């Protein structure tokens, strides 16, 4: 027997030690004892968690003590109970700045409440779940109560004296005056006074009941204490003045300066006919011993006003409500719109979890159980300080029967339905320095209501002192907190315009600096490459465009990285990289298009000579074209995104996209983007680095690159923000799209680049200066008959002998830029390399070895087709100096003797790159030529195209 008891004892000790102890702090009040009841029920329902609720006695300043513990970081409680009006005091105690939410004192519960089916978060009324428990669009409290002010009146009294139920504040004042003027005080079955309110310690809240309908008319997010653009108080205007005067008129018809307990008792015992109170009277009035109170009490939302103070119009007087100004107003019997703004006074008892709590999971397990509909709804009908806050409370009629409220259910639910679904509920003043604001309001309101001060002087003093409190706590920070309370964009539009206006200017300056540095580098390397005339202007801008798109691609990669790592720097760099990259690419494309237009306009105007813009010429155009796209991309993408009303403060310091649950799929998609864009595009640029590309071909490539990358970036952002695209499906769709685009645009070019066939016959002839109407690398204008170098190579006076080329004056390397020689070498090598030819066509290789081309010297300007022939005299034929030139005669059968390769046309087509080198060489004959212009050509950068050759 002893052994059995010992086993039972050990088992008890083991189970007891296996429990997790959770402690919750709450102040002593009639309402907070409900937390102890809930804790006892929870402990009895399960055995894993032991919840203890510690009630802090009134001898201790509860809020001061808890805030001090939060600041010092030594709080021992896992949960803290307080009214929603004190949320900011707890959340931001000891916090210097709101910019870093990691420093805030309470644990955000947004993800927990959303994932809890037991809690049924959507079943909580709109105001409580969206404003009362929220700050900066994050949930920090689990509610157990819904505190709103309501108007209570005796319907039997109004019927006796023939008065209608008031729907507006002026009508309420008229009813009170009519009752006071009647014989009600002499009738023993009637109340003694018309109105009573417990304004002794909560004066400013009851005054706010009368002022809010005049001031807040556009919804909770509008706010009723301060403006949301400059934190200017709304206490000294026609609307606030009308509300205060109405409250003064009500006090003239009832008791003055009494406590809430006395006011509540006066109504329940039938002494006063009208009162304003929290929801406690909803459940205590039906239980009153006074028949008129128990059976004829009517509760309603605080009456409103048909006239409002339009704060945005600039008018100082009141204006009538319209459907536009007052979207939440309802029409009265006369058709006038009445704006109501019920005050969520105190907000309701709730529990938050300290960020440093040891048992967050366990305390939330208690909170979601205790606040669930089946548990909390019966308690909110007991009149014990917890009032209904769930819309589901009306559906369960059994709860009302058990609570003894079957008869009163209809009129109670009438007022609860109105409040729980209202869109213009007024949020209590929830700001740092709340007690200072309240003290100033109480003092100045009392000076008018009770001490005889004029209302204008009282409101002027109130305005000045409230502004002083705001300045003391920091106007900018108070505005930030106020807007975050109202769940609107924390930063005002004006602030955003100022910040990102400066930011966009900085980006434009940075872009210009990048372009200047890039161009300087291009020019510098042009000198190194012996490209003194910068004839590689086109390839340079192709490279520049690629640099831009590569920069934008890096921004897209950072955007995807933000799915995993949340960082302010990462978010800013994402937008900067994409903005700068697109600006650089569009700027280079703009300059390139300007170059093409310049050439076409000059050739079509039949000018004798024209200057083709080189890198230095295009630089001003590029710089002029960059700021516009840069400003559009950066300002539009950043500023408009943050102007959305759904943005919370954390979105300014961490990417919204960081919360993606499919980071791995996005990483794979970006990896494929790199493979299908960066690699082939990089190979294309590398393979063609030494080949001059024609103007139109280059423009085509630039446009295609731009189209591809614009589509890629648009797809990324479209997929990231489109709510109709499933996140799990978006990355594969994105990858397939990029793959198809690459297959159409880059695969053919990559294939040609690999085979070293990037140039057409026309491109080759044009850029090397070989072929019809050309002479040894110099193109002859068909109108003026002057010879100019391809891409504007300079020709000096000494070199321009009758418009021709004097090789005796200029050396073989003079003005023969390395890129053209590389083009020739690359083109010939790609067609005649023995290894390639032998692999591709063995018989063709044998024919090649037997042909005169086998001994071509690729690096010499003059080449011999026959190794046994005598070397040619480097001096040009006398016929050239006698205004004769060599014309190509395509008679392959007349080959007889060596031919100087200086006049050989080494052209090939895209379709057949090798056939041109296996045909017999053509024969050149001297013919009578047209007389060339004797005008010397001295200008630099001169360029001419054959107008018969289409662009």
Strands (E), 241-284: 272-277
**Mean pLDDT (10-residue bins), the chain, 951 residues:** 50 55 89 90 91 87 88 88 89 75 87 92 88 88 91 93 93 94 86 85 88 93 89 93 95 84 90 90 88 91 93 87 92 90 89 92 94 92 87 85 85 83 87 89 93 93 95 86 80 57 62 60 53 44 65 70 63 69 65 55 47 52 49 50 48 40 47 53 51 49 59 59 52 54 52 46 41 38 41 36 40 36 37 38 46 37 40 42 33 36 34 38 37 36 35 34
CA-CA distance, 591 to 374, in Å (whole number)? 71
CA-CA distance, 363 to 370, in Å (whole number)? 11
The pLDDT tens digits for 92-127 are: 888 776 666 778 889 999 999 999 999 999 899 888
Tokens of 412: 């109670």
- Other residues' Cβ atoms within 10 Å of the Cβ of residue 876: 20
- Which backbone phi and psi does 207 adopt, to 5 degrees? -65, -40
pLDDT computed for residue 748 by the predictor: 55
CA-CA distance, 169 to 438, in Å (whole number)? 24
Would the pTM count as exceeding 0.75? Answer: no
Contact (CB, 8 A) for 760 and 909:
yes
* Widest Cα–Cα separation across the chain: 143
Q: Which 8-state DSSP code applies to residue 627?
A: H
Tokens of 883: 């205004």
> Helix 679-687 vs helix 537-561: angle between axes, to the nearest 10 degrees?
160
CA-CA distance, 583 to 585, in Å (whole number)? 6
Distance from CA of residue 742 to its chain's centroid?
A: 29
pLDDT computed for residue 613 by the predictor: 52
pLDDT computed for residue 502 by the predictor: 65
- Other residues' Cβ atoms within 10 Å of the Cβ of residue 753: 19
Which among 152, 161, 159 has a CA at the least distance from the CA of 181? 161
SS3 content of the chain, % helix, strand, coil (to 5): 50, 10, 35
Which among 793, 821, 759 has a CA at the least distance from the CA of 944? 793
pLDDT computed for residue 229 by the predictor: 81
Contact (CB, 8 A) for 353 and 338:
no
pLDDT computed for residue 670 by the predictor: 52
Contact (CB, 8 A) for 101 and 649:
yes
pLDDT computed for residue 459 by the predictor: 95
pLDDT computed for residue 758 by the predictor: 40
CA-CA distance, 15 to 114, in Å (whole number)? 32
CA-CA distance, 152 to 97, in Å (whole number)? 43
Give the chain's end-to-end CA distance (angstroms, integer): 109
pLDDT computed for residue 889 by the predictor: 33
CA-CA distance, 678 to 550, in Å (whole number)? 8
- Other residues' Cβ atoms within 10 Å of the Cβ of residue 877: 15
Which among 832, 631, 633, 798 has a CA at the least distance from the CA of 713? 633
- Other residues' Cβ atoms within 10 Å of the Cβ of residue 943: 23
Q: How far is CA 615 from CA 517, 524, 526, 820, 944, in A?
A: 13, 11, 10, 18, 18
Among all chains, which residue has been given the structure tokens 């013919």? 927
Domains located in the chain, CATH noted = 19-143+348-389 (3.40.190.10), 150-341+431-483 (3.40.190.10), 493-754 (no CATH), 761-928 (no CATH)
The pLDDT tens digits for 875-905 are: 444 333 333 333 333 333 333 333 333 333 3
């Amino acid at each position: 027997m002893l052994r059995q008891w010992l086993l039972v004892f050990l088992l008890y000790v083991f189970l007891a030690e296996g429990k997790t102890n959770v402690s919750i702090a709450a102040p002593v009040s009639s309402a907070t004892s409900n937390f102890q009841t809930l804790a006892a029920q929870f402990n009895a329902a399960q055995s894993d968690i032991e919840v203890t609720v510690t009630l802090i006695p009134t001898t201790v300043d509860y809020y001061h003590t808890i805030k001090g513990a939060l600041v010092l970081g030594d709080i021992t409680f896992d949960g803290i109970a307080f009214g929603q009006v004190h949320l900011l005091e707890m959340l931001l105690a000891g916090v210097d700045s709101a910019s870093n939410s990691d420093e805030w004192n309470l644990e955000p519960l947004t993800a927990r409440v959303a994932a809890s089916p037991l809690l049924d978060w959507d079943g909580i009324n709109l105001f409580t779940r969206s404003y009362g428990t929220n700050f900066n669009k994050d949930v920090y409290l689990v509610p157990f109560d819904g505190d709103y002010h309501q108007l209570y009146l005796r319907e039997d009294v109004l019927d006796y004296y023939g008065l209608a139920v008031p729907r507006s504040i002026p009508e309420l004042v008229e009813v009170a005056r009519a009752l006071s003027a009647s014989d009600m005080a002499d009738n023993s079955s009637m109340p003694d006074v018309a109105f009573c309110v417990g304004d002794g310690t909560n004066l400013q809240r009851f005054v706010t009941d009368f002022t809010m309908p005049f001031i807040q008319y556009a919804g909770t997010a509008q706010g009723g204490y301060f403006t949301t653009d400059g934190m200017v108080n709304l206490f000294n205007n026609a609307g606030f003045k009308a509300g205060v005067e109405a409250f003064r008129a009500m006090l003239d018809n009832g008791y003055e300066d009494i406590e809430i307990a006395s006011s509540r008792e006066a109504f329940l015992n039938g002494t006063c006919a009208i009162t304003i109170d929290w929801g406690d009277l909803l459940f205590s009035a039906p239980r009153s011993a006074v028949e008129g109170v128990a059976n004829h009490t009517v509760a309603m939302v605080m009456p409103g006003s048909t006239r409002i103070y339009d704060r945005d119009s600039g008018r100082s007087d009141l204006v009538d409500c319209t459907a536009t100004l007052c979207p939440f107003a309802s029409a009265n019997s006369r058709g006038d719109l009445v704006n109501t703004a019920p005050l969520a006074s105190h907000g309701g008892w709730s529990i938050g979890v300290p960020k440093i709590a040891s048992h967050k999971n366990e305390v939330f397990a208690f909170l979601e159980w205790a606040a669930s509909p089946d548990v909390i709804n019966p308690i909110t009908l007991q009149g014990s300080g917890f009032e209904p806050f769930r819309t589901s409370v009306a559906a369960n009629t059994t709860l009302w029967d058990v609570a003894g409220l079957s008869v009163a259910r209809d009129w109670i639910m009438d007022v609860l339905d109105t409040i729980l679904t209202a869109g213009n509920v007024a949020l209590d003043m929830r700001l740092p320095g709340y007690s200072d604001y309240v003290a100033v309001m109480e003092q100045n309101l009392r000076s008018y209501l009770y001490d005889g001060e004029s209302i204008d002087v009282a409101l002027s003093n109130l305005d000045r002192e409230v502004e002083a409190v705001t300045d003391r706590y920091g106007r900018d920070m108070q505005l930030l907190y106020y807007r975050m309370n109202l769940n609107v964009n924390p930063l005002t539009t004006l602030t955003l315009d100022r910040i990102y206006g400066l930011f966009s200017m900085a980006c434009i300056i940075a872009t210009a600096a990048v372009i200047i540095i890039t161009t300087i580098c291009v020019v510098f390397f042009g000198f190194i490459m012996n490209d003194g005339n910068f004839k590689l202007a086109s390839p340079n801008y192709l490279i520049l465009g690629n640099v831009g798109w590569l920069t934008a691609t890096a921004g897209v990669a950072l955007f995807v990285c933000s799915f995993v790592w949340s960082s302010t720097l990462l978010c800013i760099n994402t937008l900067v990289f994409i903005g700068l990259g697109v600006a650089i690419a569009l700027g280079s494309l703009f300059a390139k298009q300007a170059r093409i237009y310049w050439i076409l306009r000059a050739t079509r105007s039949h000018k004798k000579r024209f200057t083709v813009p080189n890198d230095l010429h295009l630089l001003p155009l590029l710089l002029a074209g960059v700021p516009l796209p840069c400003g559009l991309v950066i300002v539009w993408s950043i500023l408009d995104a943050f102007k959305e009303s759904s943005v919370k403060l954390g979105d300014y310091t961490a990417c919204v996209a960081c919360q993606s649950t499919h980071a791995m799929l996005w990483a794979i998609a970006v990896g494929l983007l790199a493979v299908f864009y960066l690699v082939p595009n990089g190979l294309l640029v590398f393979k063609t680095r030494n080949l001059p590309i024609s103007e139109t071909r280059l423009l085509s490539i630039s446009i295609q690159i731009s189209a591809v990358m614009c589509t890629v970036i648009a797809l990324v952002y479209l997929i990231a923000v489109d709510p109709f695209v499933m996140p799990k499906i978006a990355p594969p769709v994105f990858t397939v799209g990029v793959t198809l685009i690459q297959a159409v645009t880059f695969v053919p070019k990559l294939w040609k680049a690999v085979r070293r066939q990037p140039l057409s016959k026309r491109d080759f002839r044009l850029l090397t200066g070989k072929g019809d109407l050309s002479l040894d690398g110099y193109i002859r204008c068909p109108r003026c008959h002057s010879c100019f170098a391809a891409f504007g190579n300079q020709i000096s006076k000494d070199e321009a002998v009758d418009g021709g080329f004097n090789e005796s004056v200029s050396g073989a390397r003079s003005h023969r830029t390395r890129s053209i020689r590389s083009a020739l070498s690359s083109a010939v090598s790609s067609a005649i390399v023995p290894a390639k030819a032998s692999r591709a066509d063995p018989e063709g290789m044998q024919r090649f070895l037997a042909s005169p081309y086998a001994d071509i010297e690729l690096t010499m300007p003059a080449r011999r087709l026959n190794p046994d022939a005598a070397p040619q005299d480097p001096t040009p034929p006398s016929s050239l100096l006698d205004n004769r030139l060599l014309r190509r005669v395509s008679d392959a059968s007349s080959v007889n003797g060596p031919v100087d390769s200086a006049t050989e046309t080494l052209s090939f087509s895209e379709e057949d790159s090798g056939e041109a080198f296996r045909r017999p060489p053509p024969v050149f004959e001297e013919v009578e030529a047209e007389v060339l212009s004797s005008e010397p050509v001295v200008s630099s950068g001169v360029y001419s195209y054959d107008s018969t050759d289409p662009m």
